[in-house]
Amino acid sequence: MVPGYPESMPRSRARQVRGRGLQRAAWFGLAFLVASHLSQVRQARAGIYKYVDQEGVVHFSNVPTSPRYVLYLKEDGDIEFHYSDKDRFDYLIEEASRQYGVDFALIKAIIRAESDFDPQAVSRTGAMGLMQLMPTTAENLSVIDAFDPRENIDAGVRYFRRLLRTFGNDLELSLAAYNAGKNAVLQFNSVPPYEETRRFVKKVLHFYRIYNR
């Protein structure tokens, strides 16, 4: 007699039933392990990240191994990777610095003061992204996506270079114009007497000294 089965059941039939039961249990166990593994993968996944290398090749990854990667697509429940240092966008800053002839440390100081390296930052006045481009400024600079780090930095540095040329490379006036607008600086022929603007100029210069060490 096979335990758990009727006495009238033939032994061969009982072995078949027991074998199927064991097989079914094995499948259930395997399914549970797979489901558990997928759940763990789901919990560890961090959306899709991308970066464009110097050859123009776009790279995608769900496990970014370099600060060059920027979040491209985030799904509900995904855990976003964060880099604790402030060097995440250095490679983009270097690109813009070389292309437009603006000091790397100065660009980084502006970004630190404007957005603290948050590419999704939006101010109460509607300024967007790392270098806090106003919508009209972004439009004038033909920016398609103001929240794209490369595009935002490129446009912001282009704009700041124009201001440097307008104000004869006077750093304080150019920074004031970046914050308050060119016309405000031209009107006062100095840093405008706006608390926010003066605080901004002071903050950028402070960070500039730090990054210039």
Catalytic residue (one of 55, 114, 151, 195):
114
Tell me, letter by letter, the H, E, C secondary structure of the chain: CCCCCCCCCCHHHHHHHHHHHHHHHHHHHHHHHHHHHHHHHHHHCCCEEEEECCCCCEEEECCCCCCCCEEEECCCCCCCCCCCCCCCCHHHHHHHHHHHCCCHHHHHHHHHHHHCCCCCCECCCCCECCCCECHHHHHHCCCCCCCCHHHHHHHHHHHHHHHHHHCCCCHHHHHHHHHHCHHHHHHHCCCCCCHHHHHHHHHHHHHHHHHCC
Active site residue 114: yes
Catalytic residues: 114
